[in-house]
Structure 1
Amino acid sequence: MTVRTIWVDPMLRMLVAAIAIAALAPATGEARSVAQIVANTAIFTLFLLNGMRIARREIIAGIANWRFLVPLVVWVFGAMALAGLALASLGSGWLTPSVAIGFLYLGTLPSTVQSATSYTSLAGGNVALSVVGAALLNILGVFVTVPVFLALGGIGSGAVGANVAIKIILLLILPFALGQALQGVAGTLIEKHKPKIVWVDRFAISAAIYVAFSGAVEQDIWSRIDGLDWAMIGMLVTLFLLIGNLGAWMAGGILRLERPDRIAFLFAGAQKSAAVGAPLATILFPPAEAGFIVIALLLYHFFQLVVAAPIANRLAEHSLRDAVDYNVPTTRS
């Protein structure tokens, strides 16, 4: 996958469209209330579908593989969260506080499922393990992201009161639980309409981004974040990508994982989920703040696609070379 083909990705195009529409026609006043209701409905549907799609047997299988799963959880919600805290501290003296704290928020998010699995497959890694690991991280993220974020100093308007806790339960946890309960009934239907259901995911994430970015536009984001600020954000995101990818690969080596499992650990450990991060931000923060906080997430989401493609291709080449070298003695004998 090249940079050119990344731009063709429907999810990326929808995110860009959501930001552009918010910039030109932000939802304010009564329109914001309507947009928030639409976004909340889409978020509920997204997590309901997630509950239906993630098979219980996969959850059990993932839990059983503790040698892979436990270090992955520690890396994603521990090491990456601390890295996010460090980057937030670096940016706090330069960037708007809400933008800086966005790096901590980014660090506490779980991995993607779709792209982590796709790149693991492209690189010749353990796809089944990647699916299970990323799916379990997403489940844990609903429960773990907010406590870790708050424990590391992510306070301000994001402090979880009763109203926010109720929203998290009603919009994230309840629909996921319902999806798990309905899995046996709806499993065939979900599989049959899988291509169409993907667009529900994309719409839910885009709607959340539109609501969040509308608040940032209303707060005059273009004057509060200048060219030097964007350069600083770009450098911090690049550093975060380096930490995430290099650190996850080294961690897999320290754990002495087999190469396919190490590749799965890399992509599940370095990717960050906009599917969880964007909806959760609109629940956890008011729109005026959420739009600034998700800036780091949006840039990371784009950059991780740019970086993951050549990494996966390089790993695939090495895997193929190793396979050929391994078979050479047999071929010549």
Structure 2
Amino acid sequence: MKRLRLPLDPYILSLLGTVLLAALLPARGGVANGVSAASTAAVALLFFLYGARLSTAEALDGLRHWRLHVTVLAATFVVFPLLGLAAYALRPWLLSPDLFTGFLFLTLVPSTIQSSIAFTSLARGNVPAAICAGSFSSLFGIVLTPLLAAALLGDSGGGFSAASLGKIVVQLLLPFLAGQFLRRWVGGFLTRHKKVLGYVDRGSILLVVYTAFSEGMVRGIWHQVTVPRLLALLLAEAVLLAAMLGLTWWGAGRLGFPRADRVAIQFAGSKKSLASGLPMASVLFGAHASLAVLPLMVFHQMQLMVCAVIARRRAAEAAPAESAEVAAVTGSGGG
């Protein structure tokens, strides 16, 4: 039996260690300027690598399953944001304005690729569909997430405005398109050095987190966070995740998708990407990014823990049906 060991994502431990480092030794003065410049370059590098690794041809090949992909995109960029807006009722008496902004922002982030594939595989779902759905979400998210943020957050994001879209184009979209353009020449190199580049990805994101939380510490932003509001955030995110897991599974069933597709829709449609969301937040929110990314970091760990349990349950549910199918085929062959 396959096992998915996700009691606590090791990368979350690295992120927490980075946050602790920023709290104890925040970058100041000239060092802060250097770290900020390095963070900006790291974000551009990240999205260049995303573009160079993402096979647009493979994603387009999956268009034959267009109903599934539209369903996942609708869950990611329509249903999620609507539920995020519904949480406005919690502001300001449970969630501070900055925490609500971060909560709403996490609902605008694209889906993941790796964890969607891992959970879909474990649950014996449609893995190729999960791969394509995650790829489409990443492609659309480069444009849709900033546009949705501009429309829904406006100037409420603590420094975010429509002018930030220019930064998105320069720091995210152009590097991503450059990666796509150069993929035919650098794709093989990236594939051969996948493990090393994985460290580059994670290291770049840790640098982004350190920069954001350092600036938050220097500006005293963290004094705004209280224990009751953190607990309220946890509760709100638990409700959000439960709602999306339930809606994607139920909705896919109502739309007539077979079980394997329902599994892919549930796991791809209920996820949010930490790897895409953190760099985007650093560009969109600047000095206020530390509070803006906190809800996303919490949600990331929560979705891994909950989906690991659900994936095992889905796998257990599928096993008897698969055994019966094999027995039927064997029986008919023996006759």
Q: TM-score range by the shorter chain?
A: over 0.9
Deviation at 1:154, TM superposition (A): 4.4
Residues paired across the two proteins, number: 329
TM-aligned CA deviation for residue 59 of structure 1: 2.4
Matches within 5 A, 1:178-327: 178-287=178-287, 289-327=288-326
Distance 2:55 2:321 in 1: 34
User: RMSD across aligned C-alpha pairs, in angstroms?
Assistant: 1.9
Shift of 1:171: 1.4
- Deviations 1:279-312 (CA, angstroms, capped at 9, x unpaired): 111111122x211111110100111111111111
Return closer, same or farther for 1:3/1:231 CA change in 2, 3 Å cut-off: farther
Matched-pair contact (CA < 8 Å) for 1:62–1:136 = no
Partner Cα separation in structure 1 for residue 181 and residue 216 of structure 2: 38
CA distance, structure 1, for counterparts of residue 6 and residue 307 of structure 2: 13
SS of corresponding position for 2:212? helix
1:26 has 2:30 as partner: no
- Residues 3 and 306, structure 1, Cα contact 8 Å, conserved in 2: no
- Return 5+ residue gaps in structure 1 as ranges: none
Is there any run of 5+ residues in structure 2 with no aligned partner, and where?
A: none
Cα distance in 2 for partners of 1:132, 1:30 equals: 44
Asked if residue 76 in structure 1 is aligned to residue 76 in structure 2, the reply is yes
CA contact 1:39–1:207 (8 Å) conserved in 2: yes
**Contact 1:85/1:107, CA 8 A, preserved across alignment:** no
Deviation at 1:274, TM superposition (A): 1.1
Percent identity among equivalent residues? Answer: 32
In 1, the alpha carbon distance for the partners of 2:306 and 2:91 equals: 23
TM-score, with length taken from structure 2:
0.92
TM-score, length basis structure 1: 0.93
2:89 aligned partner:
89
The 1-side partners of 2:186 and 2:209 are apart by: 29
Deviation for aligned residue 1:250: 1.4
Displacement of 1:100 in angstroms is 1.1
Residue type of the partner of 1:159? S
Please show how residues 3-82 of structure 1 align to structure 2 within 5 Å. Answer: 5-7=6-8, 9-82=9-82
Amino acid in structure 1 at the alignment position of 2:263: I
Partner residue in 2 for 1:159: 161
- Asked whether the equivalents of residues 2 and 306 of structure 1 are also in contact (C-alpha less than 8 Å), the reply is no
**Alignment partners' CA distance in 1, 2:4 and 2:31:** 36
In 2, the alpha carbon distance for the partners of 1:281 and 1:222 equals 17
